[in-house]
Structure 1
Amino acid sequence: MPVLKDLLSGVRNYFGVIIIVAAFIVSAILVYMNTSNAGEEVYVVQQGDTLERIASMYQTTVRKICEANYPDVQERDKPDVGMKIRLPHDAKNRIVTVRVAHWSLEPGARDGLNYMAKEYRKLHPNIRIVQEAIPESTYGQWFTTQMVGGTPADLMRDGMVAYNLLISYYVRYFTPLTEYVMNPNPYNRINEFSNTSLRDTMKDGLRSCYIPELQEYMAIGLTLHITRMFYNKTLLRQATGSTEPPKDFAQFMAVCEKIKQYKYFDTKTKGLITGHSNAIASLAAARNGYAAKGDTVRAADAAAKIEEHTRAIDATVQKLNNLVPIANSKYHMNMVEGNLFNVVTSKARNEIDYDHDCIVNVVEQYAGMKSGAITMDYAPYRAKFEIVSNYCRQSVPGFSGLNRDDAAMYFVQQRSVFMPTGTWDAGMLERQAADNGFEVGVMDFPYPSKDSPELFKHFEGPAYEDPTSSFRFACASPENAPERRTAAIDFLLFMAAKDNNIKLNDMIGWNPNIVGGVPAVGILKGFSPHVDGVVPGMNFQIGGESIIKWQQMYALFWVGQISYDKLRDEFTPFYLSRGYQDYLTVSKNWRRSLAMDEKLSSILRVKSFVTTDASKKAEYLEKYRYALLRPLNREMTVAYEQRLMRSASQDVKMPPAYQYSAEALRRIQGK
């Protein structure tokens, strides 16, 4: 009894302390139960996973994983992709952070990627996706800095750097994705593509993601982009009385002339005019009331005030600027160049496409000009510059000094009716149109028709379009971070799966890259490529001083500071005297790629010896032959080009590139 009495006394004396300790213990138990795995958490197996890797990721052992999944999982088993594995009670979730970098600052792009990251984490709770959106103007410098500094994002959108530099980065920093591209996407296992290689599920077969120099697929593209002409339906109706866009170049020019007569009303001006109009309506009602009552004095006073408001409206309108038909910039001119201006130059292929590849390259252009086979007075060339001149006269003044955002601002503020751009801007423009109270439409480029006979006789068809994958991501995770690399590639495959790719592009406002995706709706209906078309027949991109001279003269022609004849007279002699030397300067280092070819061929040969897989062996040997023959083909190509240019310089008469027999012409004309 004394012992019990002492115990009760101690409890009374230390009751408060006991309560605090008990509360602490209970809290600790609750925290432990909430933060520890309850034995029911599962992990979804990704491509390349092993039991050892999963155990390392969750800081447990293979034996414990097998015990938690007995008898379904044994220590020597290789887990299937998509299999769900129960994690042991003591497994600790190690968070893996994957960084995704790109330059698409459009609101939909970031929202779409965030949605994909959220959905992906539902399947892989230990993977955290963080995106880094870098402005387009600085992405190239940022990309290079990250590569050189050894701090690239795990998934880098490739581009904005010189191609030869990108190749060197691919070799040193990026993981080849051929293995994943040539096999079925595990995230397509529940649809019709379960047994189809990832490459064959994409509309373009991921052609742009294949790097011939490396014989590898280095990226995966998630969308397709093509270019069209956007227009403001609301402004078009107000300025012309119709929402129907022009069908050809003659109509386009006529519509532009009408648009230039229409005033631009900003928000402030609209408010002023609305205020005056409301005042006029009120005064008119009052005047009529006074007149009905015979109060001529007040009626006259109301009429005078109406006149004042009317004059105020007229004065305000007189101060307004007129609409500018086309929102343009140097950035947008690059798109119109190939899609509209150059379509009338295609016939030049018949004269100077000496290697019969249906493309006029820089060597053929120079050889044709140097030999006199073609000149700047060639009728299709003059037709092109007539189109350029007329188009530029309808553009924003000083457009050659504006950037992409400046032109987009003109269009969004309803100061212009037309703007050429692509699917990458479609979603943004549709949202801005809704916010600013106008409707946006998409039209094809206004090509010459019979209404422009001098242009139409050189027109053979629309610009040929063969869109390839865009929004491409490559994996730059370092080798010493295998968990990040595996997770990054798996997230890329997740976004490339059918349903996810459709959802991602729908949120952004782009066209899905997946075969058999949902039909385009809304504004995207206007984006179907011209699979039958023509390619340009003019190419002055020879490099060196010649290309600088061409860009300077062409920009002056854009803004009307020089005529076509002056451009021809100044550029032609400079080009003919400098072109060959510029070609040699630009191409003198082409043999430096031999070292890369030799390295690649050696690697492929060793792989073919080592592998025991017959299909892999055949693949490696085929790539080895290509890598071995490529330097020889390049030698032959350069030798041919140099001989062609030297022959042109030696007054050798160059026959037309194509010559048709009478029978061939008869059959062609018959079709």
Structure 2
Amino acid sequence: MPQPAFIVLAAAYLVSAAVVFRRTAAPTPPGQVTIRFSQWQLEGTVREALDAIIKRYEELNPHVKVERIDVPGSDTIYLPWVQTQMVGGTGPDLVEYVWAWPNIPRYFQPIDDEVVKPNPYNRGTPLEGVAWRDTNVDGMTNEDSFVKALNHYYAITVTSHIPRLVYNRAMLKTITGAETPPADYRAFLALCATTKRYAQTHGLTLSPLAMSKDSYAFVMYAIMSCELTGLAERLDFDHRLRITDLEAAGDYLRGDWSYNTPDVVAALHLLRELGDVSTPGFLQRTRDAALADFVNGRALMAVVPSWDASSLLQMCPFAIGAFRYPHPREDDPVYGRFTRGPFSEGPVLTGMGFYLNRTTKHRAEALDFLRFLTSQEGATLFTNISNWQPATIGVRPSNFAAQFTQETEGIGWGASFMGLTGTDALNYLRTQISKLWGEGGSVEAYRAAINAGVEGVIREDLRRLESAGRQNMCREDAVAAAKVELAPRDHPAEALPLATVMNEATLYQQRELLAQPRRQ
């Protein structure tokens, strides 16, 4: 018998295909150009925002009709749908895509020449005459806009996201008499304790914080990164004011830190305290279950990324607010000696990138729509209706989205000490987390598990990275040699596109780490 999940998947795909066929087959009036774009953002009022932008664009450009194609599921349904459409030659003119997904150069065309030109829809604004690239808050340095592996600009991005603690305004006032969320860590713990007492006194099923297996990482990585600023500073041997997780993994193998280092032990105690104030059993609960707890009044607060928070505005029968997790600062009596703030949330990097179909017959119109979408007028419509962050310089976020504005000022070393080398190490650290938060869990149990196995998975990740780096270098050398040997005699190759010195140095460093035993 077919599994229910497969039936649902097949039904969703057939419905999406029918929608595409109907729109593709619809007649187009003489002289009118129809462009289509696909996307998977079904949260909140994002679709309504896109429709408002389409309506305004069509008023300005009556010869162009814009159709939006919604396909849910991100990489579970949407990605296979896109791949099928692109291979079959029926792909939309613009496609929301992700840089890490396959076949970018096969499906899409670079837009290097376009991003250096001014956006005509910004005439009469402070961005008039400014290169399109420079009107984006991150300068199109994000991994979707500029795909480093291909050395080309490919996508135009329209928003950015950050997680926050969302809270029930009415419940906060009922429990505490206050209308503003806690401003520091001790006040946060006090609020959680007060909430527990209130629930017990009134016989309520009420947790201070709703969290799930899908959302805890948003807070976990931030806690570790902020609490370990002192350790990161000590490990910054090159004085670059930045440590990556991969570099932290190398420092671990060299014996410069461990999960017994006092700073790390303190950070793990912070994580343990987070679990103590969260919904019991949250490691087994889904994102939807945690949101349901919050919407139905079974939690005062919830860990929510901004893309979900906009949906809560529609779902909640009460007013909601949002605030950043209050990390302990230098004056904290327990954790202050390990950290140094204020804490940055890193550089703003935008997403929701739209890529230009390599085979589109309406390149000019598709690019023109993207220009309006990311103009000050288009971005203002987007944030005011969707309550998501705008990606265009000079556009103020909506009042609700403003609560999710990323904090870029302060200290941010980059490493979370919970990602390390990547796939194996990341999965190992997270699969063992039940020993910290599960029933009977403790910091000591988690440390024992990590100390027993993390070195092996770090080395396995490094072996894979070293092998991939070596193979890439060999391929680049072969391509460079071919360009020299096959170049016409009267037009010899001017330069060899070899691997950078930094890539080669990284490869040798990884080999050295693998060859040496870990220092204790």
Contact 2:470 2:507 survives alignment (8 Å) = no
Task: Pick closer, same or farther for the CA change 1:134–1:400 going to 2, 3 Å.
Answer: farther
Q: How high is the TM-score relative to the length of structure 1?
A: 0.65
Shift of 1:382: 0.9
Question: Is 1:171 paired with 2:114?
Answer: no
Question: Tell me, what secondary structure is at the counterpart of 2:353?
Answer: strand
Q: Which has the higher helix share?
A: 1
Q: SS at the partner of 1:329?
A: coil
Aligned-residue CA RMSD (Å): 3.2
Larger radius of gyration: 1
| One-letter identity of the residue aligned with 2:68 | Q
SS for the counterpart of 1:380 is: helix
**One-letter amino acid matched to 2:104:** Y
In the other structure, the counterpart of 1:152 is: 91
Q: In the alignment, is residue 243 of structure 1 matched against residue 179 of structure 2? A: yes
The one-letter amino acid paired with 2:299 is: S
CA contact (8 A) 1:102 1:132 kept: yes
Residue 563 (1) aligns with residue 442 (2):
yes
Q: Secondary structure at the match of 2:54?
A: helix
2:132 counterpart of 1:198: yes
Deviation, structure 1 residue 544:
5.5
Determine the structure 2 residue equivalent to 1:493.
371
Whole-Å separation in 1 of the counterparts to 2:83 and 2:34? 22
Query: What's the secondary structure of 2:497's corresponding residue?
Result: helix
1:427-442 alignment, distance < 5 Å: 427-433=310-316, 436=317, 438-442=318-322
Assess, with a 3 A threshold, how the Cα gap between structure 1 residues 144 and 392 changes in structure 2: closer, same or farther. Answer: farther
Q: 1:191 to 1:587 in 2, by over 3 A?
A: same
1:330 counterpart residue number: 213
Asked if 1:529 is matched to 2:407, the reply is yes
Q: Is 1:421 matched up with 2:355?
A: no
Equivalents in 2 of 1:134, 1:140: separation in Å?
A: 9
**CA deviation profile, 1:407-437 (whole Å, cap 9, x unmatched):** 222222222111233432343333334xx1x
Amino acid in structure 2 at the alignment position of 1:203:
V
| Percent identity for Structure 1 against Structure 2 | 24
| Counterpart for residue 640 of structure 1 | 509
2:22 corresponds to? none
Per the TM alignment, residue 379 of structure 1 is displaced from its structure 2 partner at its CA by: 1.2
Q: Distance in 2 between matches of 1:456 and 1:125?
A: 61
The Cα shift of 1:182 comes to 0.6
Task: Write out aligned runs for 1:98-247 (5 A).
Answer: 98-136=35-73, 138=76, 139-159=78-98, 163=100, 166=101, 168-208=102-142, 209-247=145-183
Secondary structure (helix, strand or coil) at the match of 2:383 reads: helix
Matches for 1:280-299 after TM superposition, within 5 Å: none
**Structure 1 residue aligned with 2:333:** 453
Q: Which residue in 1 is equivalent to 2:347? A: 466
* Distance in 2 of aligned mates of 1:354 and 1:559: 37
C-alpha contact 1:340 1:463 (8 A) present in aligned 2: no
Shift of 1:263: 4.2
Letter in 1 for 2:411: G
How many equivalent residue pairs?
A: 480
- In the alignment, which residue of structure 1 is the partner of 2:17? none
> Is the alpha carbon distance of 1:238 and 1:92 closer, same or farther for their aligned partners in structure 2, counting shifts above 3 Å?
closer
Q: Report the Cα offset of residue 523 of structure 1.
A: 5.6
1:238 and 1:398 mapped to 2: Cα distance?
Answer: 26
Q: Deviations over 1:180-223 (max 9, x none)?
A: 21101122234333311111222211111112222211111112
3-state DSSP of counterpart to 2:198: coil
Answer yes or no: is the 8 Å Cα contact 2:33–2:65 preserved in 1.
Answer: yes
Output the CA distance in 1 between the equivalents of 2:86 and 2:436. 40
* Secondary structure, aligned partner of 2:433: helix
Tell me: CA distance 1:401–1:156, structure 2 relative to 1, closer, same or farther (3 Å).
farther
The residue that corresponds to 1:391 in the other structure is 274
Provide structure 2 residue ranges, at least 5 long, that are not aligned to the other structure. Answer: 1-27
Partner of 1:575: 454
Task: Report the alpha carbon displacement of residue 405 of structure 1 after superposing the two structures with TM.
Answer: 2.7
CA distance in 2, matches of 1:495, 1:180: 15
User: 2:166 touches 2:304 (CA, 8 Å); kept in 1?
Assistant: yes
In the TM superposition, residue 386 of structure 1 has moved relative to its aligned partner by 0.9
Q: What is the alpha-carbon distance in structure 2 between the residues aligned to residue 115 and residue 123 of structure 1?
A: 13
Aligned partner of 2:407: which letter?
A: P
8 Å CA contact retained: 1:354, 1:364: no
Deviations 1:377-400 (A, max 9, x none): 111111111111111121122222
- Alpha-carbon spacing, 1:561–1:155, altered in 2? closer, same or farther (3 Å): farther
Deviates more, 1:226-235 or 1:540-549: 540-549
Amino acid at match of 2:355: A
Amino acid at match of 1:571: I
| Structure-2 residue corresponding to 1:515 | 393
How far residue 149 of structure 1 moved from its aligned partner, in angstroms, is: 4.7
TM-score (normalizing by structure 2) = 0.82
Counterpart contact for 1:359–1:537, Cα < 8 Å: no
Q: Distance in 2 between matches of 1:134 and 1:604?
A: 42
Distance apart, 1:363 and its partner CA? 4.7
Equivalent residues of 2:158, 2:350 under 8 A apart: yes
Structure 1 residue corresponding to 2:430, chosen from 541, 548, 551: 551
In structure 2, distance between residues paired with 1:131 and 1:454: 53
What letter matches 1:255 in structure 2? Answer: L
CA distance in 1, matches of 2:180, 2:125: 41
CA distance in 2, matches of 1:420, 1:495: 30
The one-letter code of the counterpart of 2:173 is R
Indicate conservation of the 8 Å contact 1:227/1:423, yes or no.
yes
The 3 A distance-change label for structure 1 pair 207 and 232 is same
Question: Contact conserved, 1:214 with 1:600, CA < 8 A, in 2?
Answer: no
Contact 1:233 1:243 in 2 (8 A): yes
Q: Distance in 2 between matches of 1:384 and 1:145?
A: 46
Q: After superposition, what is the alpha-carbon deviation per residue over 1:113-159, rounded to whole angstroms, capped at 9, x for unaligned?
A: 11122222223334322222222452344444444554433222122
- Deviation, 1:572, is 1.5
Task: Give yes or no for the alignment of 1:585 onto 2:468.
Answer: no
Cα contact 2:222–2:416 (8 A) shared by 1:
no
Q: 2 CA distance for matches of 1:578 and 1:513?
A: 38
The answer on whether the counterparts of 2:435 and 2:445 sit within 8 Å (CA) in structure 1 is no
Distance between the aligned counterparts of 2:479 and 2:365, measured in 1? Answer: 27
Distance 2:314 2:478 in 1: 50
